[in-house]
Chain A
Amino acid sequence: MGADSGPGAPAAVPWRKVLYERQPFPDNYVDRCFLEELRRNIRVRQYCYWAVVRETGLIAQQVSCVAVFLTLWSYMEQGDLVPSAVLWVCLGCALLGYGLYEILGGSCVRERTRLADLQSSTIFLAFTFGFSPVLKTLTESVSTDTVHAMSAVMLLAHLVSFPYAQPSPPGSLSLNAALFGSVCLASRLPGALHTFTMLSCAVLVFALWPCLLHRMREKAEWSFPWAAVLVCLAGVRGLGSLWPEGALLLLLALLTLTLVCPLLLVHLQRHKDNIHGPWDEAEIREDLSRFLN
């Protein structure tokens, strides 16, 4: 039954849109103002291509982070890198990063005191150093193919579940998956010190670097694209020294991700067709913080 097509609709009594009263109309009767409140695509944003490309840089740099980590591991496994040297470099990078973090966040209120930070790092170092002999023997009885497969799955899970919208407190599943994968890989290395070094690198790359990056984005907007590009280049270069075809693949993947996907997104916006109406859930738009104090 469409609007105005009810044959037995007496015009004397106007139809009201209520079901709790008996009306002379049938239950599924609608009148002229049917679907008047329908709105289409009221929240669709118009994307600017270059803005989207800038945002995609985050994903690209995360992929490159994984590539950098794998390069490091590969070198350590082949024995080209001495673990103590890598350890010192990691320590240096950590201190540098921490200093940068403090400088950039000077005006912010600190959530954690310096003492709490020191405590965390001590716990981490102690634990890892203490458990590294145990960790080293964990996958002895597992075949190499299984270990590689597990690590690949875990790192993929890390990439997929990474909280790209809010990377500052790192998401549980992504961080855990990355750490699990790195433990699997680290247990294949020749010595306990190697394991310790690998884990420290993993924590740096997967846990601390996203926090720093996020802080940089917030405070110094201009530095973000340069940092992303730097990381991508490092990833490609590192992979290239081991496996040139892989580096080529990575480059292609990064270019697709950064340039082609935003194009697709912008291009396909015109097919968007969302309908909204009085049946949507209510959303509170007001800023209610004035009631809090």
Chain B
Amino acid sequence: MVLKIFFPQCCNTADSGLLVGRWIPGHNSAVVLAVIHYPFIPGQVKKYLSELQSQTQVDLTVLGSWSMPKEGQEGMDSFLKDLSTIFPQKCWLQLSREIGKRGFTCQVVQNNGKLLQDQEQKNGDDKIILIHYDQRKVMLSQLHPVQDVGQKSDVEPSELRLVFLTVAQSQPLFFLDKYDDGPLKLTHWQSEGREASIIAELLKQVSVPVCIFLTWLLSLWHWLCSFRMLHLRPVLFISSKLSTCVQSGYRAVHFKTVFSPKKAARHMEFMRKANIFVSFLVDIALGLLLILWLYRENRISKLADTLVPVADRVAKELQELLEWLMGAPAGLKMNRALDQVLGRFFLYHIHLWISYIHLMSPFIERILWYVGLSACLGLTFALSILSDIVALLTFHIYCFYVYGARLYCLKIYGLSSLWRLFRGKKWNVLRQRVDSCSYDLDQLFIGTLLFTILLFLLPTTALYYLVFTLLRLVVVLFQGVIHLSVDFINSFPLFAIGLRICRPYRLAEGVKFKVLCQEPGTPLHLMMEINPLKCSSVLQCYRMPTYSCSPKDSWAALCKKLFVGELIYPWKQKTAKTD
């Protein structure tokens, strides 16, 4: 049986005293947390330990004795042996170190008085391994994959996890430092003096009222949004389409998480809060940078001045495209009458659109100025507004696409049905298959006429549909790029990555051991170092869930929809559950 003792590095040079720690249940190992020095009163030690036990829920006990004899302290050994009677234990550890030597000696006394010695001749199986660990790092570190303390899991926590948990939960033990005037003198990582900074303390004090205030503001906002007027169908529909409203709703949810006055109990909650807060700060910073850049050198008015000519240009290009379609595009033979009808119809729409833009042109600069200010709410807002502006400016393209798609879809549907009539068959809706059918004379006649008409008009409609679908796809692609970048800013866990880079020991994937000292006659000394989590695992673990705009259909489904003429909305957003 191998006995593992986890020994903190800070206690390597501590004076002699009692070892305080915990026996890991189920495994043959012990974690040493601190050393209590002489002089002490055993009763007070026991009282202190039971106080701590009720505070931390960790079963702290006296593990054994530690002796590092200085000058004038010989004769401690027998004293140390007698201590085991005062603190009755199953196993009593006696660690001792001599000045000048690297290794410790360790003796384990069992309850029944049997001595367990680390000598290879006697019992080759019984070995003692001393694992040194950096107490502060292990205390702050979190082992991944994260298993919550309160959660019932099927897997028994491993030995390593129990060690980390023990050190993390024993924080109150480390509050007593050497400047405290108590009856006990301890040595642990903080015994040289507790670290604290005034700013951190002030922030902590201030943050609670600030959080309460912000939560109250948020509830006010929610109350505003819950007006009945805003829940009418048209308003709901528009607000679900405008990405600005979606983004603001999303941010409201974020704020609710971040500004709740309750302290984050679990590691994951804490990381989530921190991630949201940091990404929000970065967002705002980027937005402010954008504002600085936009409002300098009168860029807004320059932008407004170029906007109307750009819209005009787009409309003119569309007009030219339609004229080309109404002629003989690419040498294809189109049905002249239908061509003229469709072309004139779309041209009229463009004419309407141009008039509208010209009507709005005096106000554009003002509107842009105020809209640009909204970037102070974050870069994501600015990008959402850009996406919405693009959608509004290309609304006519969207309209044309819908007209063309509907016409084409109707035609395809009619053609397939009439083709079945041509062959004398019918679609059986009950059985979902094609059956033969005997038609009446007039049904046959009219069916054939319509089939002929639809068939010969197909190339014209298909060409218009193709052209407008391509245009629409270009716009959709552009919007998709914007949405992807907004999504990226929203969901990237900046805080976690920063933590991984600056304090890699806080996100631990495992440990690695280094051999410190391997001399015969002393136990094996290992140094435990924390293996930080890989960056890709950090991303995977802490990535925030967003309304991810992944494409809704696969490529094959998309092609099929395009062919049949169904309307496509490739970047469908996952709507948040409305409660």
Which B residues between 418 and 471 are near A, CB-CB below 8 angstroms?
421-424, 438-442, 444-449, 451-453, 456-457
Interface residues of B in 288-344 (CB under 8 A from A): 333-337
**Which B residues touch A127, using CB under 8 A?**
445-446, 449
If A135-B452, A172-B421 touch, whether A140 touches B445 (CB-CB below 8 Å) is no
Q: Is A141 positioned at the interface, with any CB of B under 8 Å from its CB?
A: yes
Interface assignment of A254: CB less than 8 Å from any CB of chain B: no
Q: Which residues of A contact B440 (CB under 8 A)?
A: 120
Instruction: Give 8 nearest A-B pairs by CB, closest first.
Output: A172-B424, A141-B333, A138-B456, A179-B448, A120-B442, A176-B448, A176-B422, A183-B452
Query: Shortest CB–CB separation between residue A267 and chain B, in angstroms?
Result: 35
Q: Mark B333-372, 1 if CB is under 8 A from A, else 0.
A: 1111100000000000000000000000000000000000
> Which of B334, B424, B449 touches A179 (beta carbons < 8 Å)?
B449
Tell me whether B439 and A172 are in contact (CB under 8 A).
Answer: yes
A172 to B422, CA, bound (A): 7
Which of B335, B423, B439, B453 is in CB contact (< 8 Å) with A131? B453
Q: How many residues of A contact B (CB 8 A)?
A: 27
The reply to whether B442 and A124 form a contact with Cβ atoms under 8 Å apart is yes
Cross-chain contact B444 with A138 (CB below 8 angstroms): no
Chain A nearest CB, measured from B270 CB (Å): 71
Residues 69-122 (chain B) with a chain A CB within 8 angstroms = none
Contact check, A137 vs B442: say whether CB atoms are below 8 A apart.
no
Assess the B438–A176 pair: CB atoms within 8 A. no
**10 pairs, CB–CB < 8 Å, chain A vs chain B:** A131-B449, A135-B452, A137-B337, A141-B334, A172-B423, A173-B423, A175-B441, A179-B452, A183-B449, A207-B445
A138 and B457 CA atoms in complex are apart in Å by 7
With contacts A141-B334, A172-B421, A173-B424 taken as known, whether A135 is within 8 angstroms of B442 at the C-beta atoms is no
- From A128, A140, A176, A203, give the contact of B336 (CB < 8 A): A140
Closest CB-CB distance, A49 to chain B, in whole Å? 34
Which residues of A from 154 to 200 have beta carbons under 8 Å from B? 169-173, 175-176, 179-180, 183-184
Most buried by A among B422, B438, B452: B452
Residue of A nearest to B460 (CB): A141
A138 proximity list for chain B (CB < 8 A): 335, 452-453, 456-457
For chain A residues 93-141, which have a beta carbon within 8 Å of chain B? 120, 123-124, 127-128, 131, 134-135, 137-141
A176 and B447 within 8 A (CB):
yes
| Contact flag A203-B334 (CB < 8 Å), given A135-B452, A173-B422, A180-B452 | no
A142 within 8 Å of B (CB atoms):
yes
Q: Which of B439, B446, B457 contacts A123 (CB 8 A)?
A: B446
Q: CB-CB < 8 A to A142: which residues of B? A: 333, 456
Further contacts, 10 of them, CB under 8 A, given A124-B442, A140-B335: A124-B445, A127-B449, A138-B456, A142-B333, A142-B456, A169-B441, A175-B441, A175-B444, A176-B423, A176-B448
> Across the interface, which residues of B come within 8 angstroms of A128, CB to CB?
449
Encode contact with A along B498-535: 1 for CB under 8 Å, 0 otherwise. 00000000000000000000000000000000000000
B425, chain A: closest CB distance, angstroms = 8
A120 to B442, CA, bound (A): 6
Q: Which residue of A lies closest to B339 (CB)?
A: A141
- B334: A residues at CB distance < 8 A: 141
Q: Return chain A residues, CB-CB under 8 Å to B423.
A: 172-173, 176
Give Cα distance in the complex from A141 to B333, angstroms: 5
Binding site for B on A (CB under 8 A): 120, 123-124, 127-128, 131, 134-135, 137-142, 169-173, 175-176, 179-180, 183-184, 203, 207
A138, B451: Cα distance in complex, Å: 12
Flag if B453 contacts A176 (CB, 8 Å). Answer: no
Partner of B453 from A120, A134, A141 at Cβ < 8 Å: A134
Once A131-B453, A141-B336 are accepted as A-B contacts, the answer to whether A123 and B424 lie under 8 Å apart by CB is no
Q: A120-B441, A172-B424, A173-B423 are in contact. Are A139 and B447 (CB under 8 A)?
A: no
Give Cα A223–Cα B441 distance, bound, in whole angstroms.
26
- Whole-angstrom distance from the CB of A213 to the nearest CB of chain B? 15
Q: Which residues on A sit within 8 Å (CB–CB) of B424?
A: 171-173, 176
- Contact check, B335 vs A137: say whether CB atoms are below 8 A apart: yes
Would B335 and A207 count as touching, CB distance under 8 A? no
Instruction: For residue A137, give the distance in angstroms from its CB to the closest CB of chain B.
Output: 5
Contact of A180 among B336, B441, B442, B448 (CB under 8 A): B448
Question: B residues within 8 A CB of A135?
Answer: 449, 452-453
Which residues of chain A come closer than 8 Å to B447, judged between CB atoms? 176
Complex: A183 Cα to B455 Cα, angstroms: 12
Closest Cβ–Cβ distance, residue A21 to chain B (whole Å)? 42
Minimum Cβ distance to chain A for residue B22 (Å): 78
Shortest C-beta distance, A47 to chain B (Å), equals 30
User: How close is B103's CB to chain A, nearest CB, in angstroms?
Assistant: 87
B196 to chain A, nearest CB (A): 87
Q: Which of B334, B336, B449, B451 has the most C-beta atoms of chain A within 10 angstroms of its own C-beta?
A: B449
Nearest CB in chain A: distance from B448 CB, A: 4
Determine if A170 and B452 form an interchain contact, defined as CB atoms under 8 angstroms apart.
no
With contacts A120-B441, A175-B444, A207-B441 taken as known, whether A180 is within 8 angstroms of B337 at the C-beta atoms is: no
What are the interface flags for B195-223 relative to A under an 8 Å C-beta threshold, 1 for contact and 0 otherwise?
00000000000000000000000000000
Distance from A158 Cβ to chain B, minimum over Cβ atoms (Å) = 12
Kindly name the residue among B424, B438, B457 whose own CB sees the greatest number of chain A CB atoms within 10 A. B424
Query: How far is it, in angstroms, between the C-alpha of A169 and the C-alpha of B441 when the chains are bound?
Result: 8
Q: How far is the CA of A133 from the CA of B150 in the complex (A)?
A: 81
Chain B: minimal CB distance from A129 (Å): 12
User: Using Cβ atoms and an 8 Å threshold, which residues of chain A touch B333?
Assistant: 141-142
- Residues on A with beta carbons closer than 8 Å to the beta carbon of B438: 169, 172
